Each structure stands twice: as C-alpha cells, then as structure tokens.
Amino acid sequence: MNELNNNSMTVTYPSIYVGTNETQIFFTNSTPNLTEIYKPGKNNFQRRCFVTDATVATLPCMVDFIKNFTDGKCENDELIILGSGEAYKNIESVLTIVKTAVDAGFARKDLFVGIGGGVICDLTGFAASLFKRGAHVEFVPTTLLAMVDASIGGKTGCDFDNYKNMIGSFFPAQKIYMFPEFLKSLSKEQFRSGLAEAFKTSLLYDKNLFQIFKTEKQKILERDPEILTKIIQASANAKGNVVERDFTEKNERMFLNFGHTFGHALETIVGLGNIAHGDAVAWGIGRALDLSAKFDFCLESYKDEVLNILNDYGWETKPVHSLILGGGTGERLLLAMHKDKKNSHEKIKLVLQKGLCDTFTKEFTDEEILSVLTVK
C-alpha cells in the first residue's frame, strides 16, 4: 500500500470486477462540499445513485447538496434517503437501492455513492455488488466508525434474522472521501462507538496509537481535530495494510474481528440497534482478554491495563453486560456465537492476544467460553 502522501493513500487487492482492484482514500479537513465533488446532474458519462439516511440528510453541510434533487432526481442522477440506524440494515433496504437503479435504467458502468455511517456504506456497497453483478461504488463516511473501519476493505452486507452481517459480499469502493468535519455532529454514543474500533486497531497493530488513547483522553473526547485526524489516518493505514495482505479474510484479516464474536452475540441477544456496535465490541474485547489471561496466553497486567482504559472511556467490561436481561445469559450468548461466520467446526474460533500487537486465533469449547460469561 502507498503510505499516506499528500493526505491520500491507495489500497490495492485482487480485482473483484474491472476497476475494483484499488481504493483511493482522500483525507481533508475542509468543510464537506459534495456538490463540488460530484456536481449532481452534470456528469454525462456516468449516472450516480446517491444513498444516505434521514439523519445525515439534515446536516447543515448536506443542505446544499440535497437541494439539487427534486423528488429524488437531478437530471440523470438519483437520491435515496433511507431510515437511520441498524433497524434499516436489512435486505429490504438493499433491494430498495437496487430497484431504484433498475427503474432508472442504470448500467454497470454507473456509480453508487454511500454517504453516511457504517450502515449506509455496507448497504450501498452490497447493492452495488449485486446490481448487474457489479457496478461502481464510492463512499463518503460520516461517522468515526465508518472512517476508521466500515468504509475500508470491501466488506459489505446487511443483517438477517436478527444476526449481524449474515448476508454480504467482498466488494471494495473505488474512492473514499474522509471529512473529519462530519464528526462534530455525532452524538456521544456514536462517537464513542467509533473510538472502540480505533482502539481495537491500536491493540492489534499500532503501539503509537495505543499511547494516544492512554495519554490524550481529554483531547480525544473533546474531538480535537488534530488528534482525530491522527486516529483516522492511523486506523485507515493499519486496516489498509491488512486488507492488502488478506482481502477475503482467510488468515490475518480475522484479527480485525478482535472482540467481534462476543460483541455481535451481545448485539443479537439485546436486539440489533439497542446497543452501539462499538460498545458491544469494547465489551467483547474485555471478554477476549479475560479468556486470554485465564488460559495464560497473556499476563494479567496486560489484561488489566486494557480493561482499565476501556472503563476509563466508559465502556462496560464485566462478564454480564448491564443490557442483558433474563437468565441463561451465557447460554444465549453462546447460541449466537455459534452463528458467527468465522466458525467452521463445533468449537468457536476467537481472536485473542498474548500482548500488545501480538494476536492469534484459537478454537474453544462452550464450557471454556462460559467461564468468562458468568459472574465469578
């Protein structure tokens, strides 16, 4: 991968379809001006289907862009405004995007543009991968989670039957435009959710980023632009390097699921959308490190250091999350964990750590996993 140069970087990987062998990522600290970037109604070579949600569509920096469209149309371009949140990350939303493109007579050479958080990026990318077996797609991520994780690497999809990301494809965006200015509009919950994914990246790949989380908490929570730019660029660089080496998640890319097998199970049993994804992942990191320490893969001191940081930022790390109601907590979590896409046998494959930036995978029995899902 090209190193960060002049506020841009390029990620390359095996081509899925003509034109999908690389992603250009652009970082800018200016106010987002999507009218200037895309010039709705003025591209005669390529039609565009813009996809956003009801929350992003009302942001002040989006007003002028939205005004270009009347009843979702601007010359040959289309605009779709979906509902906001995890509840809309379903196959119906994907088909809404596809049907809009079909009804408008789009061709394979035309472009889908997702403007929003992880949900919108995942849905738009998945729709683009399905449309005529692969159109073009670009992203303008508007949340921290989407900037540091969801928009990068080509994973697309939707939830199904109350299970997280059960349907999807590997289909990378050709361009991603990062505007940290969008982060000013995020709720505290949304912002913290994105921080969890960036903190996960620091544990896996970036000791300098880990130190930023340890020493710059006040600036991070105040959303200091310089610190956020460092976090976004470091996270994008780390994930881009991993994706280049293992695009379809056969080996090392599995490490990026650190905390996710536990976290996705938590999201399932409390109801998708009832807990922020990053909060669930942070809790899952705590469970994974408890398991790592229990079986002597990592030192208790390392586990405690990470859990203390998680707690300091407000994430829960206890074996039973406060949002879980009713009995049989461990058993219900295990049932959801067995649905995880990474499992290939009766045992559950988990990402664990021996220490900072020292990661591995291992399969565990239900009984072993239950030991970190119950109150001691």
136 & 34 share domain: yes
Distance CA 154, CA 174 (A): 10
Q: pLDDT tens digits, the chain, 376 residues: what are they?
A: 555 566 899 999 888 776 788 999 999 989 999 999 999 988 888 999 999 999 999 999 999 999 999 999 999 999 999 999 999 999 999 999 999 999 999 999 999 999 999 999 999 999 999 999 999 999 999 999 999 999 999 999 999 998 899 999 999 999 999 999 999 999 999 999 999 999 999 999 999 999 999 999 999 999 999 999 999 999 999 999 999 999 999 899 999 999 999 999 999 999 999 999 999 999 999 999 999 999 999 999 999 999 999 999 999 999 999 999 888 889 999 999 998 766 666 899 999 999 999 999 999 999 999 999 987 6
What is the reported pTM? 0.93
DSSP code, position 230: H
Name the catalytic one among 47, 48, 136, 155.
155
Within a domain: 376: no
Name the catalytic one among 133, 188, 250, 376.
133
215 & 274 share domain: yes
267 & 178 share domain: no
167 & 207 share domain: no
The CATH number assigned to the domain holding 361 equals: 1.20.1090.10
Name the catalytic one among 192, 277, 287, 303.
277
Name the catalytic one among 78, 86, 138, 197.
197
308 & 256 share domain: yes
Within a domain: 2: no
For 111, the token pair is 């472009």
Question: Catalytic residue at 303?
Answer: no
**Residue of 129, 142, 131 whose CA lies nearest to 174:** 129
Name the catalytic one among 48, 136, 200, 264.
264
Amino acid, single-letter form, for residue 307: L
Question: Catalytic residue at 338?
Answer: no
Domain count of the chain? 2
Among 185, 214, 231, the domain-final residue is: 185
Distance CA 334, CA 307 (A): 22
Question: Catalytic residue at 181?
Answer: no
Q: Structural domain of residue 166, as residue ranges?
A: 8-185
Residues linked to residue 11 through DSSP beta bridges, in sequence order: 23
Name the catalytic one among 48, 164, 200, 239.
239
Question: Catalytic residue at 345?
Answer: no
Torsion on CA atoms 41, 42, 45, 46, rounded to nearest 10? -40
194 & 329 share domain: yes
Question: Catalytic residue at 245?
Answer: no
Question: Catalytic residue at 253?
Answer: yes
